[in-house]
Structure 1
C-alpha cells in the first residue's frame, strides 16, 4: 500500500519576473508554466538537513517596492535633513500604485498554506528593504512561517546541483 508523502509548501520571492523564470528553470529541470504570476513545482532536497523531504515550491516575483513612503512632517526627502533626524520622523507607508496593490494581494493569496518563505531578492540595500516589506505582508496572513534569506549575486545551474 503506497503512503502519501506530505509536501512542505515553500514560497520563494524574487525581485523580477525574469529571475523567477530563470530560478524555476534551474531548480525544476522541467518546463513549468506560469499560472497567475507564479510557478509551482515539486522539489526534493538532498542536503542532509532536509534529505528526502518533499517540497512544493511556489516561485513568484515582486517588481520593486510594495509601498511608497511619505514623510508626515517637515522632512521632504532623505536628503533634506541630517540622517539622525530620520529616526524620529513619522512615515506613512502605503501602496499607492495599482501594481503595488495587485502584488500585495497576490502575495497574500500565495502565502496561504506555506510553511516557509524564502527571500531571494537582490543583495543590496533596496533588496533588503523590499525583503522586509515582503515579510510584513506575508506575516499578516501567515505568522508561523519559517523565513530564510538567500544571499547570492547571480544564478547558475552549476551552483544549485
Structure 2
C-alpha cells in the first residue's frame, strides 16, 4: 500500500498538480513571447521552483523532509530579461561539495527560464535566492515549495 501511495504522489508531482505531499504547484504560464505572467517576485519564484523540480524530478524528494537534514544550500542567482541565468553562487552551505554541486547543476540544467515580467526587473535583471533542502539520500526539495520538516 505504501508503495502505491508513493507512486501516486510521484505522479502528481510530475504532473504539476497539488498533491497530498503538500508541495505548492503552479503551472508556468507565459505569453506568446515566453514572458512569465507572474506579477510578483514571489509568484515568479514559485514558478521557477516548480520548473526546477519538474526538470530534475529524479533528484527530488517527495514528502516531508527529514528532521535533521544532510545539507541546506542557499543559492543566489540572477536572471536577465530573456530568462537566461547570468550567474549563481552559494551563499550558505555546510560545505558538502556533493550537495552544492547538485544545487548548482539543477539550477543550470533548468535554464533558460521564462522571461520575468519587466515590472520585476531592476537594471534589466532579477536577483533571486533559493534554498535546497537535502535528505541523507542526496535528494532535495526547494524551500519555496517544500512541506514542513518532520519532527524529531
Q: Scaled by the length of structure 1, what TM-score is found?
A: 0.25
- Bigger relative contact order (CA 8 A; separation at least 6): 2
Structure with higher strand content: 1
Q: Scaled by the length of structure 2, what TM-score is found?
A: 0.26
